[in-house]
A and B are shown apart, each in its own frame.
Chain A
Amino acid sequence: MIFNLNKDINNKPFISIIIYFLIFIWVFVAAFPFIWTFWGSFKVELDFFSISNWTNAITGKNTEQTYGSPFTFVGYHGAWIQEEFWKAFINTSLVCFFVVITSLTIGTLGAYALSRSNYKYTFWLLIMALIFRAMPPITLVAGYLPPFFEWNLWGTLPTTIIVLVSINQPFTLWMLHSFFQNIPKELDESAKVDGCSQYQAFGHVIVPVMWPGIITTGLFSFLLAYNDFAVTSMLLSDENRTMVPKIAAFLGTTYTEGNVMFAVAAVVSATVPLFILIMFFQTKIVSGLTQGAVKG
């Protein structure tokens, strides 16, 4: 395919121009909004939303007039210190850390069992997980609220962590299941022949070779927890808010107070960890996305 298309490109400059143009447009469309917003987050509102001249957003004309420099950290200061975005950042870190650890622990055990059992109930469990995976999480929230209010569990981080872990289980199970199926069964079978129990076979033989799959699945568990808006905004009280619901809350208040730049700074701050994540784990993310497809 690769050499084939290259030949085509060499023979037909018309096709190659269209292809290069399409790819260029896509990369631009994908990256430009982030670059633009990042650049604009160091400006004042009059530059970021410029009515008079859009080039102000690049040169920072009004920012320079106000602060003497085309760059200002006023938005970041306002968001992180004045609006206490640091609290939301800590909350998000806690939620993501515990969700990833817990999901992976119980998901690994479950997925391993599912991949090593051939009984009919295995199939039904996987189908149930598929249906659960397909359901929008928001449909469950009406079921959470009455008992959480009744037992005073609503609004706290641990409750939300447990809920997020459970909602992510179907996805984690499917992903790890397809991963474990690619680890030959002969590995743990031979360990069992040598006198290991199933638990020992898992601990001594499977655990050492499972880390690539665990890391990939962990990345996606992290993203599910980090990106969630519907569930976290319904289950967390105002002071326990994570970053995404906090940003949503920002929008309402900052528009009225004229502090849009706080929201812009908060949005950029919340995107930076994801940016770093892609930088370090690009190949893992790509393999995770394709794993379910190519092998499942």
Chain B
Amino acid sequence: MKHKTFFWFIFPTFLAMFFFITLPIISVSLQSLHTPHENLLITVENCDPFGCKKATTIDHDATKKLKENNPLGQYVGLDIYFDRGHLAIQQVKNLWSKTNNIFEFLKLTADLPFYKALFFTLTFTFTVTPIMLVFGLLIALGVNSFNQKLKGLIIFFSLLPMIVTPLIGSIILFWMIDSRGIVGNFLQILFEDPNLSLKASTFLTWIMLIVYGVWHAIPFSFIVFYAGLQTLPKDQIESAKIDGANSFQQTIHIIIPHIMPLITFVTLMQLMDNFRVFEPIVGFNAEAHATSLSWIIFNDLGGETRQLSAAATSSILTILGIIILLLPVLIKTWKEFEFKK
């Protein structure tokens, strides 16, 4: 395709992505280096018949002028990145010198807002992803042996947890595990503890969120693996059977290698999606026990005081996190491209 034709075809989508993705990223990175101007103060002496008083008021004209000259605010370099709400360099240094062992250090670091969110996000990402891979594969192997009509029905119901709006899905589960809901009720009877509440403890809240994450993600791996199983090399399996391989050995030595590219694909998509975990925290009303990187950005943006600089800084740190997470994949894609040349 000629450069000119290519340009006109790609132009509308390029324009949209440039104005609403690229420029916002630049804007966010600039905002993360600036804080809003403080109001300039002026001291005036008011004299009345009872004497003179000095009063400090806001100098509106000067403040307005300052804001107009520097609409981004005051340049502060990396200060916001290092402050208590983000990387908290000072606090981490103090903790490092005060604590005796690494566990104590990590435990105290996890109380700082950014690290708290980071620890949960990483825990969520790296527990949900492997669990959903294993369950997805098991279900796919199982469903494969059902007859055609039943398969359609199973796939229909399996799609529900994935297709449903994440916020709605988490709210539905939240109502059920409520101490007055059916699952909550059932657990109370099971553990013979009428005061058991999943919402009260941090550990149980994390488990609850991870269970939701797995529930939401299993359909994706199941469907993809199921599709992969339809293209299995039948002759290989036949010859393996003749050689006396049982179904477990066949799974390990033929099926898994055959669908390995799919496993990589699902892992990649899941790492991306789980890293942005956000809706379940809102749906489960869990922010007291678990926060995520996306959640702290949302929290800074909302409410009466929109803390744009703080949100921008968290955003940049999140983007850096996702790039680190995807770096192996990007390097691999690049090598493949170079190789093809």
A: residues with CB less than 8 A from B are 1-2, 4-6, 8-9, 15, 19-20, 22-23, 26-27, 29-31, 33-34, 36-37, 48-51, 54, 57, 105-107, 109-110, 112-114, 116-117, 119, 123, 125, 127-136, 138-147, 162-163, 165-167, 169-170, 173, 198-199, 202, 223, 226-227, 229-230, 234, 244, 247-248, 251, 263-264, 267, 270-271, 274-275, 277-279, 282, 285-286, 289-290, 292-294, 296
Contact = CB atoms under 8 A, between A and B. Distances in A.
B298 A23 contact: no
A110 B297 contact: no
B285 to A, nearest CB: 8
A208 to B, nearest CB: 18
B180 A49 contact: yes
Given A142-B308, A142-B315, A290 B21 contact: no
Contact of B319 (A54, A135, A248): A135
B167 A26 contact: no
B227 A134 contact: no
A128 B22 CA distance: 10
Given A23-B143, A134-B322, A292-B265, A277 B157 contact: no
B175 A134 contact: no
Contacts of A37: 172, 175-176
A54 B159 contact: no
What 10 A-B pairs come out closest when comparing CB atoms?
Answer: A143-B24, A166-B20, A113-B9, A110-B13, A136-B276, A49-B180, A290-B227, A139-B315, A143-B27, A106-B12
A166 B311 contact: no
Contacts of B163: 223, 274, 277-278, 285
A60 to B, nearest CB: 14
A145 B306 contact: yes
A278 B326 CA distance: 31
A141 B311 contact: yes
B323 A131 contact: yes
30 contacts: A1-B229, A2-B144, A20-B142, A23-B143, A26-B139, A48-B175, A49-B175, A50-B180, A112-B9, A113-B5, A113-B10, A131-B326, A136-B322, A138-B294, A139-B315, A140-B24, A140-B315, A143-B28, A144-B24, A170-B17, A198-B1, A229-B278, A234-B301, A247-B167, A267-B172, A275-B160, A278-B159, A282-B155, A285-B159, A285-B163
A285 B26 CA distance: 35
A2 B145 contact: yes
B12 to A, nearest CB: 4
A132 B176 contact: no
A142 B311 contact: yes
Contacts of B186: 54
A163 B250 CA distance: 48
A44 B169 CA distance: 21
Given A136-B278, A139-B315, 14 more contacts: A1-B229, A1-B237, A26-B139, A110-B13, A119-B3, A131-B330, A140-B28, A145-B306, A166-B21, A244-B165, A247-B168, A267-B171, A271-B168, A290-B228
B41 interface: no
Contact of B180 (A51, A107, A202, A227): A51
A278 to B, nearest CB: 5
A109 B279 contact: no
A8 B245 CA distance: 12
Interface stretch (B57-65, B109-117, B122-130, B218-226): B218-226
Interface in B145-187: 145-146, 152, 154-161, 163-169, 171-173, 175-176, 178, 180-182, 185-186
A280 B312 CA distance: 41
A106 B18 CA distance: 14
Nearest to B282: A248
Chain A CB within 10 A, most for which of B21, B279, B322, B323? B21
Contact of A274 (B2, B164, B323): B164
Nearest to A57: B182
B14 interface: yes
A54 B185 contact: yes
Interface string B274-300: 011011001001000000011001100
B253 interface: no
Contacts of A6: 145
Contact of A251 (B26, B171, B227): B171
Contacts of B154: 23, 27
B216 to A, nearest CB: 10
